[in-house]
Amino acid sequence: MFRIPIFGKVLLAFFGAMIIITVIAVLDLRSTSRVVQAYQNVEHSQQVINQLELVISLLKDGETGQRGYIITQNAVFLEPFTLAMNHIDQELARLDTLLAERPRQTANVTQLNQLVVAKIDFMHYTNRLVGQGNAEEAIQQVSAGTGKAIMDEVRRRVQQMKNIEEEVLDNFSRQVKDSYLINQWVVYVGILIIASIMLLGAIKLYQDLRQQAALRTDLQQTNEKLNHTVSSLNHANEELQTLNEALHAANATVLNYNQQMEKRSDELEQLNGELKEANKALEAFSYSISHDLLSPMRSVTGYSEMLSESYHAQLDAEGQRLIGKITTNARRMNQLIHGLLDFSRIGRKGMAKVTFSMEKLVVPILEEYREAYHPKYPVDIELHPLPAIHAEPDLIKQVWINLISNAFKFSSKVIQPAVEIGYQDEEHAYCFYIKDNGAGFDMKYAEKKLFGVFQRMHTQDEFEGTGVGLAIVQRIIENHNGSIWAEAAPDQGATFYFTLPKYTV
């Protein structure tokens, strides 16, 4: 991301430098060409000056020849004049050519040509005079100063022309100087700019290089880290492989377990089947008791009663006693059969739980049973408020019937029998209790006998009963996921506790 601007800047700087160099080169080329031009101009001017001096020199040669001829009238002296005159036209023509492109000298050239022609004409005139033998006239003509005046005029004009040439020369040399100076400045400034660009570039480059170096270091570090990570990964991979192997092993174990479980399951299924069979047998047993056992029992009691009533007179005392025994035991047997049927019925009853008031359930039971056991004194009943619970109402009613009738039964022989019912609110359950001040029992024997079927803590003579009531109570409470226990001591009453879980959705 940061490379592109730098690249752009470098390009920009490069192109800037190129432009500046091009400008310098162009300016320098122009300056050089000017110098060359100036040099050519100088040469030209020099040639003009030389040519002017040559013309004057030829005129002087002509004058020398003229004067010598006049003085001596010897034609030999005319030789310089003749030589000069032979060349002068040619040299004048050259001068014309040299000054052809110099507008400032055009007028001067014309004048000079006229003056030269005039001077040559004058010298020809005097020479002709001498040739005619009229030297005196020639001397007079020269002395009159006409020739000198022309010559002076030529000299003045030539000088003027030389001045102009020098002026032109100066002008050029100044121009060259200026151009050179400007050129110099451009070069300096250009170099300065290029140097700045290069410096900036160098700084940028340095920074870039440093950045790159830093990046490289970073990269190296990252690389090292990466290498480290890779080696860690490799390590992890190895561990993973190990784990994988362990997993495979575990899997095998699980499979093994599964097989075992399946085997167990099969076993369980078999057991379940056996249980079902047993249950069926139990049901058949219970059915048989209901249908087959009760009728013979009724016959036994019925006929023994008939015997003791209708044949009372025919029986002696021992016979009557035996008949009485039969009747009593048949009745007892009947009670036991009914107890057994009641107990077996609990397990088959469905658990249709509803929420109901425990207090409203208990009150009528107390009313119904309080006199059933013929207590010596009216029973003092203390009923604390009871909560609403979620349970099977018929079964819970059976629990209270059994517990309340027990409490009344076992306290029926004490003076001032008292029964107390209440509950404790625990975190997840209600703990109900029923307390009486009756016969109680010895806790030593409670564990084995208290809640067992047909197990009793008292003899039939002391208190009647089948030993099924508390077994039924325990079964109902446990079917409700509750628990039941008791605290008692002989002749100090008993307290029964049972818990029922609070209703949770």
Partner 1 sequence: MINAVELLLVEDNEDDAELMLKACSSHHYIHLKDGLEALDFVFARGKYASRNIKVLPKLIVLDLKLPKLDGIDVLRAIKQHAETHTIPVVILTSSYQPDDVQACYALGANSYIVKPDSFKALTEAAQRICQYWLHTNQLPG
Q: Given the structure tokens 């009159």, which residue do they identify?
A: 144
Rule CB under 8 A: choose which of 2, 101, 295, 317 binds partner 1.
295
Closer to partner 1 by Cβ: residue 325 or 345: 345
Rule CB under 8 A: choose which of 302, 347, 364, 490 binds partner 1.
302
What's the rounded Cα separation, in Å, for the pair 304 and 322?
10
Which value, to the nearest 10 degrees, does the dihedral of the CA atoms of residues 29, 35, 37, 41 take?
180
User: By CB under 8 A, how many residues form the interface with partner 1?
Assistant: 21
Stretch that binds partner 1, among 7-15, 256-264, 343-351, 460-468 (CB under 8 A): 343-351
Tell me the residue type at 102: R
Q: Please provide residue 427's backbone torsions phi and psi, each rounded to the nearest 5 degrees.
A: -60, -50
Rule CB under 8 A: choose which of 287, 311, 445, 503 binds partner 1.
287
What's the rounded Cα separation, in Å, for the pair 45 and 104?
13
Q: Residues 55, 88: contact at Cβ < 8 Å?
A: yes
Stretch that binds partner 1, among 63-71, 297-305, 372-380, 478-486 (CB under 8 A): 297-305
Rule CB under 8 A: choose which of 294, 346, 418, 446 binds partner 1.
294
Q: What angle do CA 134, 138, 139 make, to 5 degrees?
A: 115
Q: Given the structure tokens 């005392």, which residue do they identify?
A: 317
Q: Residue 484's beta-bridge partner residues?
A: 498
Closer to partner 1 by Cβ: residue 104 or 348: 348
Q: Is 314 in the site for partner 1 (CB under 8 A)?
A: no
| Nearest distance in Å: CB 418, partner 1 | 34
Q: Is 346 in the site for partner 1 (CB under 8 A)?
A: no
Stretch that binds partner 1, among 107-115, 167-175, 194-202, 340-348 (CB under 8 A): 340-348
CB atoms within 10 A of CB 395: 21
Closer to partner 1 by Cβ: residue 39 or 287: 287
Q: Is 149 in the site for partner 1 (CB under 8 A)?
A: no
For the four alpha carbons of 342, 345, 347 and 352, in that order, the dihedral sign comes to negative
Tell me the residue type at 207: Q
Residue-wise over 133-152: b if at least 16 C-beta within 10 A, else e? eebeebbebbeeeebeebbe
Stretch that binds partner 1, among 26-34, 289-297, 361-369, 464-472 (CB under 8 A): 289-297
Stretch that binds partner 1, among 126-134, 193-201, 286-294, 312-320 (CB under 8 A): 286-294
| Nearest distance in Å: CB 284, partner 1 | 11
Binding site for partner 1 (CB under 8 A): 286-287, 290-295, 297-299, 301-303, 305-306, 334, 341, 345, 348-349
